[in-house]
Structure 1
Amino acid sequence: MRLLRLLPFILLLVLLHGCAKEKDFPEVQNYPIIRTLEVLPDSTGSTIRGEIVSLGNEPVTEYGFEYSAISNSKGVSRKIVGTTATTGEYEARLTDDLVKGYTYKIQAYAKHGQNITYGTALPFKSQSTAIPVIHSFSPKAAEDNRPVTIYGKNFGEESYLVKVTIGNAQATVMSVHRDSVIIRTPTVSYSGSFPLSMTVRGERITAPEAFEIIGPQITHLSASSGMPGDELIIYGNNLGYSYPGTYVAIGGKKANILSQTNTEIKVRVPKGTSSLYDQALTVAVYRGNKTATFPYSYTLESGFKVASSLPSATGVTQTRLPSFVADGKAFFFSFDRVISHTIASNLWKNEGMFPGIYRHNSIFERVGDKAYLIGGKNGNTYYGDVWEYDYRQNNWTRLKNLPLAVQNATSFVLNGKIYFFGGQNNSSNIKVWQYDPATETVVALSNFPASTSGGHTFESNGIVYAMDGIELWAYDAQQDSWSQKASLPGISFFTNTQAFTYQNEGYAIGQRDDYALYRYDAIKNEWTKVAWYPGCTSGVNFYGFASEDKLYIGTLGTCSSTLYSYEKR
């Protein structure tokens, strides 16, 4: 009965509602009504169905589905179905950003104006995993330990499930997003172009283009050969690319960098050791942990050539080996014998035994068609005897003794007389003595400016020069006086120096430091490096001689028996 009494009031409310105008309910008319109907997962993806029940007054500009893993609500993906909506059901196929076994929530949506209206969220568990894809990366090239962003899709959100390699080297993964991964390039010792690959949840993919690991590259050199001190330009790429501390080596020897750009490096060719001369060496540019090599591309020239090998049968000792040149031969006195070297044929010969007491450190000088052996020592005994040697007949004649004993003196020939000084003797070791073979007499002259032992001399433009270590002194025969000239540069002071007269100029080579052959310019009073001795120099003494067209230098010792020739350029 009570229900019958309320029925007229209910009918009245229905009539009033049916007669209401649109302006009385604006919100109901502006927003569309959206429904999420169902999700159907399968082994290759998921099919989703939704419905637009009504559109409302604002135009729908986009509609589709939004979904995200329940474990990561911020990683929302959107599947757009259309941009012009009508009422009715719609569906879409999801294959991106899904991982098998993960639970997702999905809801239909419609965008209108500045607003989005959603349907009910439905959960579903994926039965498939989306295959990751790399579209591109930036930058395309980088040095070690630099950030690079990889663009694509289906990368997921878990960084521990993503690995990236460039070539065979693993990069550091900095962050992972569904459509991008940021890495830091690996530190490797090489450079070049290599494939960039990514493994996501066990799926391995490779970028469509290679990634370039930036490092130095050598393309060519300005010269294929040269000598120490020359300038060499190395051409290439990334030679100075934003990295300090670059250095260059030629045959393992560090070269001084004169200038450097990204495409070329100018260096000063370093001095070498005996094992590096006159063979093709590798040029290398070191920048950080990267190395660019140009193998066997540069020959470090010594300026010498192999002339002959001193045979052991000659019996040469490892001490001072005085010599002179006559009749196309070089003659050497060695302890107990004379040894000859025929210059044209490079043949060695033992000329015969010395008839006197065997000795070292004698004076052996040629005057005219005879040679003279003066003094020397055997053990602790010094000698003052004089012997004349006929090098054509190969015989000896003993002459009158000197009034003093002398050994290891410095000597030279001037105007048919033999001058000697220094060394050790039982008179003054700084007094200059003049010996006249014609009269077999000796005269004391002025003193040499310094105490010296085992010095050498050369002649240039009629003036005699004496080397005392690295110091050079010129002798004025008319005034019987000495004047100091330019010292040999770049060599330690305490060193034995061998000097030679070659084509009316002075040459000297020291037994330390870079073993360079120097030429003396008497007019300019300066020395110039012209060659580098390529033979063994360990614990040895230099010996040599000059012919008309070449200078010959060798070393006495157990490590080398090679005689080298130098020809003036």
Structure 2
Amino acid sequence: MNDRIKLLVVFSFGLFSLFSLVSCSDDSDSDLVGNWIRRSDFGGPVRGFASCFVIDRKAYVVGGVAARSQRLNDIWEYNIDQGYWTQKADFPGTARSSAFAFASESNGYYGTGFDGINYYNDFWEFDPANNQWTQKADFPGAARNGVTAFYLKGTGYAGTGYSSNYFMDFYKYDPTTDKWETGVSIQGTKRAYATSFIIDDKAYVVGGWNNATYPTDFWMFDPDTQTWEQKAQIGDKTDSDFDDDYTTITRLNTVSFVINGLGYLATGETGGLNSYTWEYNPLTDRWTERTSFEGSARTAAVGFSIDNRGFVLTGVGASSTTSTSLYFDDMWEFKPRDEYNEYD
């Protein structure tokens, strides 16, 4: 079974074929706000299902899978001021894809994942100042991939995912003591391959895959109260008008980033590859469609934001002429208030 099928349905069921996927786009994109601009390519080899974190205005992309199911263990640092990539010390653990990652104020953290045969629950710290990896206390949940993770107020959180089961458990990590403890499980639907973003010290978890369905429930985590609050669902679920157009938000293997206090979703898959871009306003709890991603349609990309600039890069697409996966190394920046320009 190829990597694409394994990951599309959390590496086991093979319900979809990569080569049957087609790009989803909106014919009315010219009427939408937002513009995608291609930036300098990612410095490393093409890949999908990598992990990403940001430390001190520098982005790091680690691991993933390339052509012929080759797992990768390299890590690359992006300097946004100079616009270049630098390779750092290779990850010393087993090369893998679909691991989770988050960053504290000074270090990056990387754990779980899948190597094509085995799931993992090991957990590692990357120190960019010394360009050094150190193995830390294992993630306490079952070995898995497709985990959602984030860092809030000195604590790392990681949960959900898939191995032989879909999960909804969450665990808390204290970097100062190198200890995990059981956290509060997300409510609603179990899921794998969701995404999360942080706005005003609260985490939002959206999307994913569970038992051949795309979850529509959408949750916010408050670290002060250690509680989950359900937000408006991302499908047409009410008699009100606001969600009538919520037909292209659900997806798995999507990326998210934050610009000026608003959350964004881009790329991913919902039966086919999903290029629709949506903007979330936490003050109104409403979503607005923006200009679709202008690069090749893809899933399993990575995204990050620095200085209120949002980026999407790498990922996996499908060839329209041959039965091969396409792996990408291009990088795009989204300008949410610019007019669409197909020529930049």
Q: Structure 1-normalised TM-score?
A: 0.44
Cα distance in 2 for partners of 1:353, 1:407 equals 20
How many Å apart are 1:514 and its aligned residue? 6.2
Amino acid at match of 1:482: W
The residue that corresponds to 1:506 in the other structure is: 263
SS of match in other structure, 2:38: strand
The residue that corresponds to 1:417 in the other structure is: 155
Point out the structure with max Rg over C-alpha. 1
The residue that corresponds to 1:181 in the other structure is: none
Cα distance in 1 for partners of 2:139, 2:301 equals 28
Cα distance in 2 for partners of 1:315, 1:326 equals 22
- 1:307 aligned to 2:39? yes
Aligned pairs for 1:159-308 (under 5 A) are 270-271=27-28, 303-308=35-40
Cα distance in 1 for partners of 2:148, 2:327 equals 27
How many Å apart are 1:350 and its aligned residue? 2.1
Cα distance in 2 for partners of 1:544, 1:366 equals 14
Whether the 8 Å CA contact 1:457–1:467 is kept in 2: the answer is yes
How many Å apart are 1:548 and its aligned residue? 0.4
Flag the 1:402–1:343 CA change in 2: closer, same or farther, 3 A: same
The residue that corresponds to 1:328 in the other structure is: 57
Amino acid at match of 1:515: S
How many Å apart are 1:345 and its aligned residue? 2.7
The residue that corresponds to 1:395 in the other structure is: 132
The residue that corresponds to 1:215 in the other structure is: none
Cα distance in 1 for partners of 2:89, 2:40 equals 21
CA RMSD of aligned residues (A): 2.7
How many Å apart are 1:506 and its aligned residue? 1.4
The residue that corresponds to 2:290 in the other structure is: 530
Instruction: Tell me which of 80, 102, 105 is aligned to 1:365.
Output: 102
How many Å apart are 1:493 and its aligned residue? 4.0
Alpha-carbon deviations, 1:365-385, whole Å to 9, x = none?
A: 111211111222222322222
- 1:477 aligned to 2:223? yes
Q: Which has the higher strand share?
A: 1
The residue that corresponds to 2:48 in the other structure is: 318
How many Å apart are 1:316 and its aligned residue? 4.2
Amino acid at match of 2:190: S
Amino acid at match of 1:528: T
The residue that corresponds to 1:14 in the other structure is: none
Cα distance in 2 for partners of 1:431, 1:383 equals 16
Between the aligned residues of both structures, percent identity stands at 22
Cα distance in 2 for partners of 1:403, 1:523 equals 35
Flag the 1:387–1:300 CA change in 2: closer, same or farther, 3 A: closer
Amino acid at match of 1:565: E
Q: Tell me, which stretches of 5 or more residues in structure 2 are unaligned?
A: 1-25, 64-71, 209-215, 235-245, 317-325, 338-344
User: Taking CA–CA contacts closer than 8 Å with sequence separation of 6 or more, which of the two structures ends up with the larger relative contact order?
Assistant: 2
Alpha-carbon deviations, 1:520-567, whole Å to 9, x = none?
A: 1111110112332111015x3231211104111124232643211123
SS of match in other structure, 1:355: coil
How many Å apart are 1:568 and its aligned residue? 4.0
Cα distance in 2 for partners of 1:555, 1:368 equals 25
The residue that corresponds to 2:202 in the other structure is: 463
Flag the 1:403–1:528 CA change in 2: closer, same or farther, 3 A: closer
Cα distance in 2 for partners of 1:444, 1:406 equals 16
Alpha-carbon deviations, 1:135-167, whole Å to 9, x = none?
A: xxxxxxxxxxxxxxxxxxxxxxxxxxxxxxxxx
Flag the 1:530–1:300 CA change in 2: closer, same or farther, 3 A: closer
Q: Tell me, which stretches of 5 or more residues in structure 1 are unaligned?
A: 1-268, 278-298
SS of match in other structure, 1:356: coil
- 1:452 aligned to 2:184? no
Whether the 8 Å CA contact 1:474–1:482 is kept in 2: the answer is yes
Whether the 8 Å CA contact 1:536–1:559 is kept in 2: the answer is no
Amino acid at match of 1:473: W
How many Å apart are 1:302 and its aligned residue? 5.7
Whether the 8 Å CA contact 2:74–2:88 is kept in 1: the answer is yes
The residue that corresponds to 1:165 in the other structure is: none
Amino acid at match of 2:233: S
How many Å apart are 1:457 and its aligned residue? 0.8
Cα distance in 2 for partners of 1:354, 1:549 equals 29
SS of match in other structure, 1:533: coil
Cα distance in 1 for partners of 2:108, 2:274 equals 34
How many Å apart are 1:391 and its aligned residue? 1.2
How many Å apart are 1:310 and its aligned residue? 2.5
Whether the 8 Å CA contact 2:203–2:221 is kept in 1: the answer is yes
- 1:517 aligned to 2:259? no
SS of match in other structure, 1:422: strand
Cα distance in 2 for partners of 1:417, 1:519 equals 27
Amino acid at match of 2:174: D
Flag the 1:462–1:494 CA change in 2: closer, same or farther, 3 A: closer
Cα distance in 1 for partners of 2:195, 2:252 equals 12
Amino acid at match of 2:41: S
How many Å apart are 1:504 and its aligned residue? 2.9
Whether the 8 Å CA contact 1:537–1:555 is kept in 2: the answer is no
Whether the 8 Å CA contact 1:549–1:567 is kept in 2: the answer is no
Q: Please, which moves more after superposition, 383-392 or 555-564?
A: 555-564
Runs of 4 or more off by more than 6 Å in structure 1? none
Cα distance in 1 for partners of 2:92, 2:252 equals 33
Size of the aligned set, in residue pairs, is 272
Alpha-carbon deviations, 1:38-67, whole Å to 9, x = none?
A: xxxxxxxxxxxxxxxxxxxxxxxxxxxxxx
Q: Structure 2-normalised TM-score?
A: 0.71
How many Å apart are 1:303 and its aligned residue? 0.7
Amino acid at match of 2:278: Y
Aligned pairs for 1:343-358 (under 5 A) are 343-358=80-95
How many Å apart are 1:338 and its aligned residue? 0.7
